[in-house]
Amino acid sequence: MLPALVRKTWRDDRLALIGWAGGVAAFTAIYTSFYSQFQGAAELKQDALPQGMLDFLGIADMLSPAGYLQATIFSLVGPLLVLMCAITLAARTIARPEEDGGMELMLANPISRAAFAWQRVAAAGGALTGIAAVPWILLMIIVPWVGMDIPLSNVAAASAGLVALVWCFAGIAFLIGAATGKRAVVLAVTGGLAVATYMANAIGGMVDGWHWLRWLSPFHYFIGTDPLHTGWHPVELLTLVLLGAATTTAGVIVFDRRDIGV
Amino acid sequence: MTSDIAVFAEDLTKFYGQRRGIEGLDLEVRVGEVMGFLGPNGAGKTTTIRLLLDFLRPTRGHASVLGLDPRRDKAALHRQIGYLPGELAFPGRDRADDLLRFFANARGGVAWSQVTGLAERLDLDLSRSVRTMSKGNKQKVGLVQAFMHRPALLVLDEPTSGLDPLMQQEFLAMVREASAAGQTVFMSSHVLSEVQQVADRVAVVRDSRLAAVERVESLGKRAVRAVEIHFDDPVDPAEFSALPGVSDVVVSGPVLKCTIDGRIDPLIKAAARHQVVDMLSAEPDLEETFLSFYYHAEGAGDASRAGA
């Protein structure tokens, strides 16, 4: 039996969870299912955009199956969607209930501070993993079905990267929420960090002499290895996961030490 | 630290930056006792309660609750505590019964009849969503979750706020029963009269410091009473103002108004020298006694009472 707090967390967040899962599923399914119809439009888009813009958006080419998937699901909108989901759900673990006061009664139960934090993380992290894995599951079905010529193992590697990216940013968002207890700070700082590191990866890939910059960006470890062409890169994925685990652990420790609801 | 002390605080102090929450609180609440915790808004009542429950960490000093450390033993301790927050907010948008089921499960199971029994007593409809409830009904849900697992210690922050007078009486009966069953109750309030009916002792905080700890009965004995005497003819205030225990003498024509602290005999003897038409003596008003704690008594008088 799962802890009461985990079940309670899921129940309280169920509308948001269903909404996000549905949104991510619709986005993935619509873009990929109409692969063949989009081809014409993709050509137009590719011709219309200058090469620099394509590089910045992380689009190599929109004509090959891998390029199409990269452009539609993995380069901009996909990560944007799941990261927005990750940041808002992470803000709900501690910052939001602390601000609205509901946390006090959740903590007034026989549970240590650290156990409370871990259970909230487990509930949010579990749900988040499920939502971030939606593209993975759907692509495993849709890619063969619409006849995209791309190894499923490569699609799985890129999809796994999306999950790892979500863990990384969810960990950061959790840490900020656990430390400050302020929802606005979580959204602003983590959102800002996501935009900044996305740009760092893009600029690092485009501008000579700035290549080192991309090593600072989680997006590089997610998509910079070009998993749709080159497959699995365990070290890069592990880096993201460890970053998420480290920030989460730090968040639990900080939360265990501070005053609540001041 | 003996086992018959439920709440023990020693030099308990909390500063929020420069702002003082509570300072140098020494307090003992005995097992099975009902202690009222009184003070005006912002005096440090909620800060103290939140320190005892480990929401806040003391700047200085320490507390122990049921012989346990609020921080180190939090999980074990909270199994034995029923807590009603002063600022009541419930997590989620559940119906009251689903919310209470969560609390029951989180506390390792509670007989459901216990919950329905309390809800019936308080006339609470459990099938409604807590979000849509009035303040009074939310307060009832808060009381049910605090009492439902029959905790050894009830920590209640402003428990009657939002309740109508009938429900306030029902709540006081619940406190009496809890006390009779050996449960300890520590409840804060800024209204003395409600505490006075159930508490064995009251602790008064004012301006972040403990001003007094008194048995409720002894407060009555000490109380200042207001006396008004109507004479046939005008009287001289000087005749009365020098009497022991008499103060605030105001004479307007044949009417004397004063307050008296302690024995009333000297005033009666002095008044008997004149023709007395009427005499009014207000019941000892604990509320007024406490107002004097809050707003007047300063310095030495306070300190000696705090030791009582």
Question: Which of these ranges, A63-72, B241-250, B299-308, has the smallest mean pLDDT?
Answer: B299-308
Residues of A in contact with B74 (CB under 8 A): 111-113
This prediction has a pTM of: 0.85
CB-nearest to A12 from B56, B92, B108 is B92
Q: Is B95 on the interface with A (CB under 8 A)?
A: no
Say yes or no to pLDDT of A174 above 70: yes
Query: What is the pLDDT of chain A when averaged over all its residues?
Result: 91
User: Which residues, listed in sequence order, are joined to residue B189 by a DSSP beta bridge?
Assistant: B38
| Cβ count within 10 A of residue A227 | 26
CA-to-CA distance for B131 and B282, rounded, in angstroms? Answer: 45
Mutate to test the interface with B, among A98, A109, A254 (most CBs of B within 10 A): A109
Q: Please judge whether B75 and A8 are an interchain contact, meaning their C-beta atoms are less than 8 angstroms apart.
A: no
Instruction: Output b/e per residue, B50-76; b: 16+ Cβ within 10 A.
Output: bbbbbbbebeebebbbbebebbebbbe
Q: How far apart are CA B50 and CA B59, in angstroms?
A: 13
Contact flag B90-A111 (C-beta cutoff 8 Å): no
Instruction: Say which range, A18-22, B17-21, B220-224, B300-304, has the weakest mean pLDDT.
Output: B300-304
- Contact of B16 with chain A, judged by CB distance below 8 Å, is answered with yes
The residues, ordered by sequence, that sit 6+ positions from B222 with a Cβ below 8 Å of its Cβ are: B261, B289
Q: Check CB contact of A102 with chain B, cutoff 8 Å.
A: yes
The CATH number of B224-283 is 3.30.70.2470
- What the block records as the tokens of B232 is 């046939």
Mutate to test the interface with A, among B53, B74, B78 (most CBs of A within 10 A): B74
Alpha helices in chain B (DSSP H): 45-52, 74-78, 96-106, 112-121, 135-147, 165-180, 192-198, 216-222, 238-241, 265-271, 286-291, 300-306
> Model confidence over A68-113: pLDDT tens digits?
888 888 988 899 999 999 999 999 999 999 999 999 999 999 999 9
Confidence of residue B298 (pLDDT cuts 50, 70, 90): very low
Does residue B299 register a pLDDT over 50? no
Query: How do residues B30-77 score in pLDDT, each as one tens digit?
Result: 999 999 998 888 889 999 999 999 999 999 999 999 999 999 999 999
User: Does position A16 have pLDDT exceeding 50, yes or no?
Assistant: yes
Q: Say if A100 is an interface residue toward chain B (CB within 8 Å).
A: yes
pLDDT digits (tens, 9 = 90+) for B279-296: 988 765 566 666 666 555
CATH 3.30.70.2470 positions along chain B are: 224-283
Distance from CA of A130 to the nearest CA of B (A): 22
User: Is residue B308 pLDDT above 50, yes or no?
Assistant: no
- Mean pLDDT along residues A226-243: 94
Residue B223 has phi, psi (to 5 degrees) of: -65, 150
A11 to chain B, minimum CA–CA distance in Å?
8
A29 pLDDT more than 80: yes
Q: Which residues of A touch B55 (CB under 8 A)?
A: 104, 107, 259-261
Local structure of A137: helix, strand or coil: helix
**Residues in Cβ contact with B41 at an 8 Å cutoff, skipping those fewer than 6 apart:** B190
Rounded Cα distance between A26 and A29, Å, is 5
Q: Which pairing describes strands B246-252 and B224-231: parallel, antiparallel, or unpaired?
A: unpaired
Query: What is the sign, positive or negative, of the torsion defined by CA atoms of A45, A46, A48, A54?
Result: positive
Q: pLDDT grade, residue B2 (50/70/90)?
A: low
Helix, strand or coil for residue B19? Answer: strand
Instruction: Determine whether the interchain pair A113/B74 forms a contact, defined as Cβ–Cβ distance below 8 Å.
Output: yes
> Under an 8 A CB cutoff, do A111 and B75 touch?
yes
Question: Measured between CB atoms, does B54 come within 8 Å of chain A?
Answer: yes
Tell me how far apart the alpha carbons of residues B263 and B257 are, in angstroms, rounded to a whole number: 16
pLDDT tens per residue across span A108-152: 999 999 999 999 999 999 999 999 999 999 999 999 998 888 999
**Any idea what DSSP says for residue B68?**
B
- Tell me the fold of B5-220: Rossmann fold (3.40.50)
DSSP state of B15: E
Q: Name the token pair of B295.
A: 């707003």
Determine the residue of chain B that is closest to A111 in CA distance.
Answer: B75
Number of Cβ within 10 Å of residue B92's Cβ equals 19
Q: What is residue B288's predicted lDDT score, i.e. its pLDDT?
A: 63
Q: Which of A99, A105, A116, A260 is nearest to B142 (CA)?
A: A105
Q: How far is the C-alpha of B308 from the C-alpha of B298, rounded, in Å?
A: 16
Check whether A208 has a pLDDT greater than 70.
yes
pLDDT band at B248 (very low <50, low <70, confident <90, very high): confident
pLDDT at position A225, please? Answer: 87
**Hey, is the C-beta of B1 within 8 angstroms of any chain A C-beta?**
no
Output the six-digit token pair for B47: 């800060």
State whether residue B281 is helix, strand or coil: strand
Rg value, chain A, Cα: 19
- Closest of B36, B20, B22 to residue B198, by C-alpha: B36
B-chain CB neighbours of A103 within 8 Å are 91
The answer to whether B72 faces chain A, any CB pair under 8 Å, is no
E strand or H helix at A261, and its extent? Answer: none
Residue B192 has pLDDT above 80, yes or no: no
User: What is the complex's ipTM, to 2 decimals?
Assistant: 0.86
**How far away is chain B from the Cα of A68, in angstroms, using its nearest Cα?**
41
More confident of the two residues A175 and B281:
A175
CB A59 within 8 A of CB A69: no
Q: Are B229 and B264 in contact (CB under 8 A)?
A: no
pLDDT of residue B283: 61
A78 touches chain B (CB under 8 A): no
The whole-number pLDDT of residue B307 equals: 35
Residue B23's contacts (CB-CB under 8 Å, 6 or more residues apart) are: B13, B14, B15, B44, B208, B209
Strand B153-157 with B5-16, pairing? unpaired
Please judge whether A102 and B105 are an interchain contact, meaning their C-beta atoms are less than 8 angstroms apart: no
Q: Which two tokens stand for residue B122?
A: 């308080």
Cβ distance B105 to A4 under 8 Å? yes
* Bridge partners (DSSP) listed for residue B95: B129
- Which pLDDT band, with edges at 50, 70 and 90, does A35 fall under? confident
Confidence band for A181, pLDDT divided at 50, 70 and 90: very high
**B50 and chain A: CB distance < 8 Å anywhere?**
yes
- pLDDT given for residue B302 in this prediction: 40
Q: Which of A4, A108, A113 sits opposite B83 (nearest CB)?
A: A108
Of A133, A159, A150, A158, nearest to A35 by C-alpha is A150
Predicted pLDDT at B294 = 57
Q: What is the Cβ-side half-sphere exposure of residue A174, based on CA atoms within 13 angstroms? A: 32
B300 pLDDT band, cuts 50/70/90, is very low
- In whole angstroms, what is the distance from residue B204 CA to residue B36 CA? 8
Q: Is B145 within 8 Å of A5 when comparing Cβ atoms? A: no
| Two structure tokens written together for B245 | 């225990």
Nearest by CB to A112, from B16, B74, B93: name it: B74
Q: Give the pair of three-digit tokens for residue B164.
A: 């109508």
Q: What residue ranges do the domains of chain A occupy?
A: 4-257
What confidence tens digit (pLDDT) does each residue in B88-124 have? 999 988 999 999 999 999 998 899 999 999 999 999 9
B22 touches chain A (CB under 8 A): no
Q: How far apart are CA B209 and CA B219, in angstroms?
A: 19
Q: Does A104 contact chain B (CB < 8 Å)? A: yes
Mean pLDDT, all residues of chain B: 88
Coil/strand/helix, residue A251: helix
- Contact call for B87 and A109, based on CB within 8 A: no
Q: What is the model's pLDDT at position A50?
A: 76
